[in-house]
Amino acid sequence: MRGLIMDKLTLLDMFKHGTATWSAVSSFVVVLFWCVGCWLSFLAIVNYKNAADGKNGIAKPIIQTVIAALMVAISRFIPILSETLNNKAAEFSPQSLLSDIPTTDPMGLGLAFTSVLLFVQMLGTIALFRGFMMLWEATNKGAGSGLIGKSWTHIIGGVLAVNIQLTIATVASTFYPGIDLSFLGF
């Protein structure tokens, strides 16, 4: 009878075990940045041809080329953003990024907190991707569509979320000087 009773999965357990998932999703989105950036550069080249044929202006493919180049470059920029927090320049591995957060508590709250921070970083990576895609869409719809402001909001918010430890430390030191940030690994 005891073998049939299963342990209940708590929210703390889910966060502790979610670390690998958040890291895998972040790594996937970084690779997706590169692939989509390459595809968008191909589309920009097609738009250069359309500009030469007089179907559209030259500004659109130039802006699209810059966006595509940024998306290819961001695939290496995101790992650099993350790795500068720990002063290391190895390959992108989000699961080891927050390893300096103390995890010696018996309840596992440190591991859960690390998982939450990695979840925020994953959302930041997705927000960066969405911001660049919205910026690309703005080149197709025009500046009056309202997508430019929304895309920059996603991009800036994504950068802050990818650098969540530094963002928390900056806000805390600005508004609460002298606060103990040892739980963040600072």
Give dist(CA 144, CA 176) in Å, integer: 40
Q: Which residue has the higher pLDDT, 81 or 144?
A: 144
* Each residue's pLDDT tens digit, 82-138: 555 444 444 445 555 555 555 556 566 666 777 778 888 888 888 988 999 898 888
Helix (H, G, I), strand (E, B) or coil at 93: coil
**32 has a pLDDT exceeding 50:** yes
Nearest to 64 by CA among 39, 40, 46: 40
Contact by Cβ (8 Å): 132, 67: yes
Average pLDDT of the segment spanning 161-171: 80
Nearest to 45 by CA among 20, 28, 65, 24: 65
Confidence of residue 4 (pLDDT cuts 50, 70, 90): very low
**Given this model, what pLDDT does residue 1 score?**
43
Give dist(CA 61, CA 133) in Å, integer: 15
**45 has a pLDDT exceeding 50:** yes
Q: Which residue has the higher pLDDT, 45 or 107?
A: 45
pTM confidence score = 0.71
**Given this model, what pLDDT does residue 157 score?**
92
**30 has a pLDDT exceeding 80:** yes
Kindly state the tokens that stand for 34: 């590169």
**Given this model, what pLDDT does residue 117 score?**
80
**Given this model, what pLDDT does residue 64 score?**
87
Instruction: List the single range of 42-46, 53-57, 88-92 with lowest mean pLDDT.
Output: 88-92
